[in-house]
Amino acid sequence: MAWVAVLMGSESDWQIMANSVDVLKALELDYEVRILSAHRTPEATAAYVEEAGERGCGVFICGAGLAAHLAGAVAAHTLSPVIGVPLDAGGLGGMDAMLATVQMPGGIPVATVAIGKAGAKNAAYLAAQMLAISDADLRGRLIAERAQTAQKVSVQNDQLQERI
């Protein structure tokens, strides 16, 4: 089965990017995690993307802050889907990373999710949904997970009604 690469530009991104890994684990997907930087380790980033593709990596999730070129640099080296997670690493609240990640030139797409924790989680769900196109078991796990989420909201609503 295809697996997911979770990449980040710095160790300082891990606290947020761990949310991607938590979702991948819960959905029983195989994954690898690497610190690779578009600017600090450009050759190693390109080499990893190419060899990961040869080893069956189906989707790349890339988290980065500030100038946040990691997702774009990865997308330049693969035809597999790349999902960018903009991170808040400085004074601009992550808007810097979001604009850098989302504004790709035509022909080299990066699917960009929300800044921070919600984006990290959604990157993993989106990767799972992509792989579920050709994996009925995974699709079943995603359906079950959504039903659980709906059930949680319903319980929370009942509890709120009792309090007001």
Q: Could you list the residues that contact ligand RP5 (CB under 6 A)?
A: 9-10, 12-13, 37, 64-66, 87, 89
User: Nearest approach, Cβ of 156 to ligand RP5 (angstroms)?
Assistant: 33
Contact in structure between 78 and 45 (CB atoms under 8 Å): no
Q: Which is nearer to ligand RP5, 4 or 96 (CB)?
A: 96
162 CB contacts (<8 Å, ≥6 apart)?
A: none
Length of the chain: 164
Only one residue has tokens 């929370």, namely 156
Q: Which is nearer to ligand RP5, 23 or 68 (CB)?
A: 68
By CB neighbour count within 10 A (0-12 exposed, 13-18 middle, 19+ buried), where does 67 fall? middle
User: Nearest approach, Cβ of 39 to ligand RP5 (angstroms)?
Assistant: 6
User: Nearest approach, Cβ of 123 to ligand RP5 (angstroms)?
Assistant: 14
User: Nearest approach, Cβ of 34 to ligand RP5 (angstroms)?
Assistant: 12
Q: Which is nearer to ligand RP5, 17 or 138 (CB)?
A: 17
Q: Which is nearer to ligand RP5, 91 or 107 (CB)?
A: 91
Provide the CB-side half-sphere exposure for 140 (13 A, CA): 3
